[in-house]
């Protein structure tokens, strides 16, 4: 066996920057890191190629028999090598050091650095294989021989199983390369190649082969069409698409939703799809996020799957059926709207004409959208409709959506058109169901967080991604529906918000809760990715927003997901069936309320200690049915809910961070209001979908709320939507929202000196 190790490492900084994005801003931002990491590779990376030449003894249908008795099998290989009398087998690697660095950066959350290292590693591997190709073709050229482009196991001709035969021939263990049971090499940045050699044909000029390479969107790649069949539940879609189309981008374009919280950055590992046919070779990010079993089954990440051949896929998620909280608190439900008017002494708007008049209350949430159709004369809700916010295909949370507008010149317009088109579809459905037309809709009141309202209006929200998070507008806005493309007859009113991260969903919820009318103190918390909260009474209110992270929305949790059919939504270890799923479907993941219960139960049964450390099986003594669920994986304990769905140490930490941030926000508000005796808080209102489904006992057990709140917590469901409805039927309610906005003092927690202390004090579990 021969070994080549005299490679010079040269990586073009501009090529790496190009991979990070075309925009100048992007390039400027990451330039220093790219330089630094290229420098690092020059010191620590030591590439090797081990190789050997073998004579071909026979070429048969789909087979090559070599002089060393190895039989290589693959589709069309007999044709590919038909002019060759020999082959060169080679395995190239750039060593394990870069794998370790990438893993470390991902673990510590420096994803960009990890991705940059990944790109640099790929480039080095590509450059050493090119160098090897050129050297070999030069040597062979002296004997009038040519060299074919290489084939690698896993590409179009050879299956991955052929990897073993190359290993058997070359024994690359000598240069530190090993093969696992799924035929994947370690280090990850390694590649095996088979070149044909013979007289009578010319060596191609470039080492790059379009047919076999996996670089998507290459300008030289022939634009072949392939068939893509997609199965989702009971629906099947068929498309003709260009070869090398990225699967996630295609699904987005066709508005076929799959979870992709990191917006295709390859960080979250949630965009899993099952390839029934045409499974692409696994990429590094697939290997990073998927288990061996998943890789073997044909599961891949949609964001890294560039379709090279016709494929049939099955979508694993059924998330179009998200649980949506459409109703508000009991006293504000439609049936008791008259009672609401008494409570707030609201005057109904007078409608003079005798013709019917309708209005819409619209709540645009980051995850869901709800529209209420109201009869403006009677002040009654006629109908309602809800669905997942279709902008979700561009990112699960507001930060990834803002990022989408930064990364794509058309991003803002795409997001604006998406939400307007969705609202128009929903309005059409409501009108059809109720035998009215959009011309009958005279007013629309819209509420949402500040980012959603900016996107709805098509106004840039880039400044909301960086301190001091200044929105373009927070005041009430009134505009003709047609001017923003909404298919209604009258005005669209956007209720006022308070700040970049305290939007009109909170001011509207304040109205619906009635807290701005009360003498006693109330705390209102809207639990989402940002825990928005307000504490006060009719005299004054203080609001803030904590970057709680999306743990309670199921994101950032290994098996976390939105509240969809099959999501584990409650956990109780004292029951025979320790968990329940939404719709009693087979468990496919765990949503926020399940996550909350699970941590509370793990702590109650002492499977985790007060610091959040998960105990090992030998440290705990539990009933058999629970004990056998605790297992060690990769040296760390985890809790198994099903054979595959596990809750890990990292997941516990995510919950601790979210809980610590929310509790710290509450403590800061209490301090700012100088409230020491918690009995002064008369009501604790929890708004939003998660608040409605969460188990209050679990929230107290993990210290999300002080235990003194035990009997005062009231879930008020979609209070934002309820506030929108009240504003639709009453001018007075609208005035109240605008007045209360003026009484709300906004507190920016990132500038608050004590927030960090409160946060650290509340990370542990009681």
DSSP 604-631: HTTSB-TT-PBPPGGG----HHHHTTEE
CB of 304 to ligand FES, least distance (A): 7
How far apart (Å, rounded) are the C-alpha atoms in residues 720 and 741?
14
Of residues 259 and 597, the one with the C-beta less far from ligand FES: 259
How far apart (Å, rounded) are the C-alpha atoms in residues 725 and 397?
25
**Nearest to ligand FES by Cβ — which residue?**
303
Of residues 301 and 713, the one with the C-beta less far from ligand FES: 301
Pick from 53, 288, 88, 304: which is nearest to 186 by CA? 288
Of residues 66 and 303, the one with the C-beta less far from ligand FES: 303
Sign of CA dihedral 752, 758, 760, 764: negative
Any idea what DSSP says for residue 328? B
How far apart (Å, rounded) are the C-alpha atoms in residues 320 and 696?
27
Of residues 261 and 359, the one with the C-beta less far from ligand FES: 261
CB of 396 to ligand FES, least distance (A): 9
CB of 349 to ligand FES, least distance (A): 46
391 SS3 class: helix
> Between β-strands 589-590 and 311-315, what pairing exists: parallel, antiparallel or unpaired?
unpaired
Q: Residue-wise over 96-113: b if at least 16 C-beta within 10 A, else e?
A: ebbbebbeebbeeeeeeb
Ranges of beta strands (E only) in 113-268 are: 145-147, 178-179, 185-186, 190-199, 225-232, 235-242, 245-246
Of residues 198 and 266, the one with the C-beta less far from ligand FES: 266
Of residues 313 and 602, the one with the C-beta less far from ligand FES: 313
Of residues 134 and 320, the one with the C-beta less far from ligand FES: 320
The torsion defined by the Cα of 296, 299, 304 and 305, in degrees rounded to 10, comes to 90
| Edge-first strand listing for the sheet containing 713-717 | 713-717, 681-687, 521-526, 530-536, 541-547, 744-746
DSSP 73-119: E-TTHHHHTTT-SEEEEEEEE--SHHHHHHHHHHHTT-HHHHHHHHH
CB of 289 to ligand FES, least distance (A): 6
Of residues 398 and 430, the one with the C-beta less far from ligand FES: 398
Of residues 315 and 578, the one with the C-beta less far from ligand FES: 315
Using a 10 angstrom Cβ sphere, with 0-12 exposed, 13-18 middle and 19 or more buried, the burial of residue 17 is buried
CB of 271 to ligand FES, least distance (A): 4
The helices-and-strands tally (H runs, E runs) of the chain is: 22, 34
Ranges of beta strands (E only) in 333-396 are: 358-364, 368-375, 380-388
And the tokens for 526? 């809207």
Any idea what DSSP says for residue 637? E
CB of 385 to ligand FES, least distance (A): 28
Of residues 270 and 736, the one with the C-beta less far from ligand FES: 270
CB of 555 to ligand FES, least distance (A): 10
CB of 347 to ligand FES, least distance (A): 49
State the residues that interact with ligand FES by CB under 6 A. Answer: 260, 262, 264, 266-271, 301, 303
How far apart (Å, rounded) are the C-alpha atoms in residues 366 and 398?
7
CB of 651 to ligand FES, least distance (A): 17
> Between β-strands 235-242 and 245-246, what pairing exists: parallel, antiparallel or unpaired?
unpaired
CB of 269 to ligand FES, least distance (A): 5
Of residues 91 and 303, the one with the C-beta less far from ligand FES: 303
CB of 285 to ligand FES, least distance (A): 7
- State the DSSP H helix or E strand holding residue 430, giving kind and residue range, or none if neither: helix 411-433
Of residues 267 and 325, the one with the C-beta less far from ligand FES: 267
CB of 158 to ligand FES, least distance (A): 27
């Amino acid at each position: 066996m021969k070994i080549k190790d005299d490679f010079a490492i040269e990586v073009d900084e501009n090529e790496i920057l190009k991979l990070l994005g075309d925009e100048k801003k992007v390039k400027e931002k990451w330039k220093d890191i790219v330089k630094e990491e290229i420098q690092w590779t020059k010191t620590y990376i030591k590439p090797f190629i081990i190789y050997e030449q073998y004579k071909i003894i026979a070429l048969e249908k789909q087979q090559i028999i070599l002089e060393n008795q190895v039989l290589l099998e693959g589709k069309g290989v007999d044709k590919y090598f038909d002019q060759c009398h020999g082959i060169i087998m080679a395995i190239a690697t750039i060593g394990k050091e870069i794998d370790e660095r990438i893993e470390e950066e991902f673990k510590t959350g420096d994803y960009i650095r990890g991705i940059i290292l990944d790109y640099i590693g790929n480039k080095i591997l590509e450059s050493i294989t090119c160098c090897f190709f050129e050297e070999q073709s030069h040597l062979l050229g002296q004997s009038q021989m040519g060299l074919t482009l290489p084939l690698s196991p896993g590409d179009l001709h050879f299956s991955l199983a052929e990897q073993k035969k190359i290993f058997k021939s070359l024994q690359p263990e000598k240069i530190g390369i090993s093969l696992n049971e799924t035929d994947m090499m370690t280090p990850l940045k390694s590649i095996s190649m088979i070149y044909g050699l013979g007289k009578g044909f010319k060596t191609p000029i470039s080492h790059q082969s379009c047919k076999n390479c996996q670089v998507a969107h290459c300008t030289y790649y022939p634009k072949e069409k392939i068939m893509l069949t997609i199965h989702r539940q009971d629906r099947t879609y068929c498309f003709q698409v260009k070869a090398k189309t990225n699967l996630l981008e295609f699904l987005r374009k066709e508005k076929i939703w799959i979870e992709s919280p990191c917006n295709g950055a390859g960080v979250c590992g949630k965009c899993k799809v099952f390839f029934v046919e045409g499974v692409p070779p696994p990429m590094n990010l697939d290997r990073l996020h998927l288990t061996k079993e998943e890789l073997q089954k044909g599961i891949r990440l949609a964001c890294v799957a560039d379709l090279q051949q016709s494929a049939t896929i099955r979508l694993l998620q059924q998330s179009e059926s998200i649980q949506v909280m459409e109703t508000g608190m009991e006293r504000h439900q439609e049936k008791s709207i008259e009672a609401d008017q008494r409570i707030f002494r609201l005057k109904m708007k007078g409608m003079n004409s005798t013709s019917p008049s309708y209005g819409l209350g619209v709540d645009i949430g980051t995850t869901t959208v709800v529209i209420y159709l109201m009869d403006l004369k009677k002040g009654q809700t006629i109908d309602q409709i809800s669905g997942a916010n279709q902008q979700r295909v561009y990112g699960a949370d507001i930060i990834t959506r803002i990022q989408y507008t930064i990364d794509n010149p058309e991003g803002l317009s795409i997001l604006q058109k998406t939400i307007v088109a969705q609202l128009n579809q929903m309005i059409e459905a409501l009108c059809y169901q109720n035998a009215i037309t959009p011309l009958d809709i005279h007013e629309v009141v819209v509420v949402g967080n500040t980012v959603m309202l900016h996107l709805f209006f098509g106004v840039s929200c880039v400044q909301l991604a960086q301190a001091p998070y200044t929105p373009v507008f927070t005041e009430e806005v009134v505009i003709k529906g047609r001017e923003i493309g909404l298919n209604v007859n009258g005005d669209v009113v956007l209720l006022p918000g308070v700040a970049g991260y305290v939007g009109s969903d909170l001011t509207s919820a304040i109205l619906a809760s009635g807290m701005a009318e009360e003498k006693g103190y109330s705390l209102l918390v809207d639990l989402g990715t940002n825990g928005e909260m307000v504490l006060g009474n009719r005299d004054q209110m203080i609001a803030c927003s904590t970057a709680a992270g999306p743990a309670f929305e199921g994101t950032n949790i290994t098996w976390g997901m939105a509240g969809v059919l099959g999501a584990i939504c409650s956990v109780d270890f004292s029951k025979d069936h320790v968990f329940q799923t939404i719709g009693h479907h087979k468990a496919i993941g765990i949503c926020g309320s399940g996550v909350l219960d699970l941590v509370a139960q793990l702590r109650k049964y002492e499977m985790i200690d007060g610091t959040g450390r998960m105990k090992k099986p030998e440290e705990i003594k539990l009933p058999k049915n629970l004990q056998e669920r605790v297992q060690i994986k990769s040296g760390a304990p985890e809790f198994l809910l099903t054979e595959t769905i596990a809750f890990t140490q990292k997941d516990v930490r995510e919950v601790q961070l979210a809980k610590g941030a929310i509790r710290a926000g509450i403590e800061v508000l209490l301090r700012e209001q100088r409230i020491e005796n918690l009995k002064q808080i008369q009501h604790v209102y929890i708004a939003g979908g998660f608040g409605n489904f969460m188990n209050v006992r679990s929230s107290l057990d993990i210290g999300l709320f002080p235990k003194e709140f035990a009997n005062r917590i009231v879930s008020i469901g979609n209070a934002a939507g309820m506030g929108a409805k009240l504003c639709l039927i009453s001018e007075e309610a609208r005035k109240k929202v605008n007045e209360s906005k003026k009484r709300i003092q906004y507190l920016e927690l990132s500038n608050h000196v004590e927030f960090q202390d409160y946060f650290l004090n509340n990370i542990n579990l009681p």
